[in-house]
């Protein structure tokens, strides 16, 4: 009789759980294992329970600090280490784009979120079940193992539609690591079964964005002191013609096109121009824009006759002007039309630099301070755009005021409130208000190389 009672309670509990799962997936609620229910249960999925009443985990756990560190302790052999690093960083960026958290990869010690790829038993109480079942799982935020994320290495991890797409699964699991539970919306990233979507230009779906912002709030861009100027009245300008690409038969500088996806890529200069990013190398530039797919590659002299190569560049958005440096002179470019202004080139001594400076290594305009930082060797100057003169007390050593970025800057630009300083192939993402390096990147990652 006791055995019968236990069996009855167990069967009732199983039936109730099954009904809850069927309701979650929008199936007919029967409490028995129908064919449709079994098919859903067999689908590749996340290892976090499918049955939940909340869009967030019970109690709404979340991180109580802004900077979250992560460390990958074991990699998959299916992809190169750099591919995994870039994909994991991109998955975290889907969230940092919409909430006021930042994520930084570390390589030693214990990070907030520990990540590994391993099949079967892998050090917790939830062993993986081989290819095609549970793909990965993650813990909710908290101390100790909170946020830790594990990927089943019996799966075939890819960056495409074949196998299992790492970006989509990683972004799903990091949703759990931030406090998101599964979603009933089939279009959501946090829907519990794996479904491939095109990852080119992928952004967090609305349902997931609303869920994570309910926990952490929205990321607000760093405000500028002046609104962008309104375009002058008149007819709309003609679409800008596609920039020609050139491969000259003879050139004093080697053509850097083949270096685009080299991990050792070093930029000569970088800047924004009217919302696009320009990266200069050996008399050419790569242009990255949200207005078109891919990266355009163009010779500097083809776009701006009279300029052979670019040592440094910066944009002053509220003035609609970009400045390009070559040796001991510089040009002003009208950002909207991308045409050279009259009266240029001018000597760099006009900016207050000493005549002993043979070239500028890098320059970047900071919208929040309205200062332009000009880097030469291991020092920098601060130029006040509102007063059109150098600030008193410069030059200063880079290491004094920008801890963590190194002692020289080859290229610098501003993007979404962060400064990016390149030293060789390495690049530091820097948050000036906190004087802190948020992430260390490689230059080539900006050029659609993963």
173 part of the active site: yes
Give burial (CB, 10 Å; 0-12/13-18/19+) of 185.
middle
CA-CA distance, 219 to 96, in Å (whole number)?
Answer: 8
Question: What tokens were used for 148?
Answer: 């830790």
**Cβ-count burial 66-90 (b if 16+ within 10 Å, e if not):** eebbbbbeebbebbeeebbbbbbbb
- φ, ψ for residue 257, nearest 5 deg: -50, -45
- Out of 28, 36, 39, 173, the active site residue is 173
CA-CA distance, 186 to 168, in Å (whole number)?
Answer: 14
Per-residue DSSP letter, 193: B
Contact present, 360 and 375 (Cβ < 8 Å): yes
The number of CA neighbours under 13 Å toward the Cβ of 192 is: 22
Peptide bond into 395 cis (omega under 30): yes
Peptide bond into 344 cis (omega under 30): no
| β-strand partners of 276 | 273
Q: Which residues are catalytic?
A: 173
């Amino acid at each position: 009789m006791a055995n019968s009672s236990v069996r009855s309670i167990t069967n009732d509990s199983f039936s109730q759980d099954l009904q809850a799962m069927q309701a979650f997936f929008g199936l007919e609620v029967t409490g028995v294992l129908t064919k449709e229910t079994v098919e859903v249960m067999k689908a590749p999925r996340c290892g976090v329970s499918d049955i939940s009443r909340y869009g967030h985990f019970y109690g709404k756990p979340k991180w109580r600090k802004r900077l979250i560190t992560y460390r990958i302790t074991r990699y998959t052999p299916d992809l190169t280490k750099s591919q995994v690093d870039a994909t994991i960083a991109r998955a975290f960026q889907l969230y940092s784009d919409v909430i006021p958290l930042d994520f930084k990869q570390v390589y030693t010690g214990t990070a907030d979120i520990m990540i590994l790829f391993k099949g079967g038993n892998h050090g917790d109480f939830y062993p993986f079940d081989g290819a095609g079942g549970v793909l990965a799982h993650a813990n909710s935020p908290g101390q100790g193992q909170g946020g830790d994320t594990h990927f089943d290495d019996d799966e075939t991890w890819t960056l495409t539609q074949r196998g299992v797409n790492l970006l989509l699964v990683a972004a799903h699991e990091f949703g759990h690591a931030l406090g998101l539970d599964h979603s009933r919306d089939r279009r959501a990233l946090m829907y519990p079964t794996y479904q491939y979507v095109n990852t080119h230009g992928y952004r967090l779906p609305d349902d997931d964005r609303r869920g994570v912002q309910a926990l952490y709030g929205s990321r607000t861009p760093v405000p500028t002191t002046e609104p962008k100027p309104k375009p002058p009245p008149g007819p709309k300008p003609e679409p800008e013609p596609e920039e020609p690409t050139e491969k000259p038969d003879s050139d004093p500088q080697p053509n850097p096109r083949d270096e685009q996806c080299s991990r050792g890529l070093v930029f000569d200069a970088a800047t924004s121009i009217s919302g696009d990013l320009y990266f200069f190398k050996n008399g050419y530039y790569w242009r990255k824009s949200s207005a078109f797919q891919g990266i355009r590659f163009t010779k500097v002299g083809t776009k701006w006759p009279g300029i052979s190569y670019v040592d440094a560049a910066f944009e002053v958005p509220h003035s609609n002007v970009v400045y390009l440096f070559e040796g001991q002179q510089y040009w002003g470019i009208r950002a909207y039309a991308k045409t050279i202004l009259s009266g240029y080139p001018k000597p760099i001594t006009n900016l207050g630099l000493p005549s002993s400076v043979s070239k500028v290594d890098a320059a970047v305009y900071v919208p929040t301070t309205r200062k332009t930082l000009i880097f030469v060797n291991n020092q920098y100057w601060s130029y006040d755009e509102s007063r059109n003169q150098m600030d008193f007390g410069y030059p200063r050593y880079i290491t004094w005021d920008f801890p963590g970025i190194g002692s020289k800057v080859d290229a610098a630009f501003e993007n979404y409130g962060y400064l990016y300083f390149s030293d060789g192939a390495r690049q530091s993402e820097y948050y000036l208000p906190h004087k802190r390096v948020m992430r260390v990147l490689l230059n080539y990652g900006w050029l659609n190389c993963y």
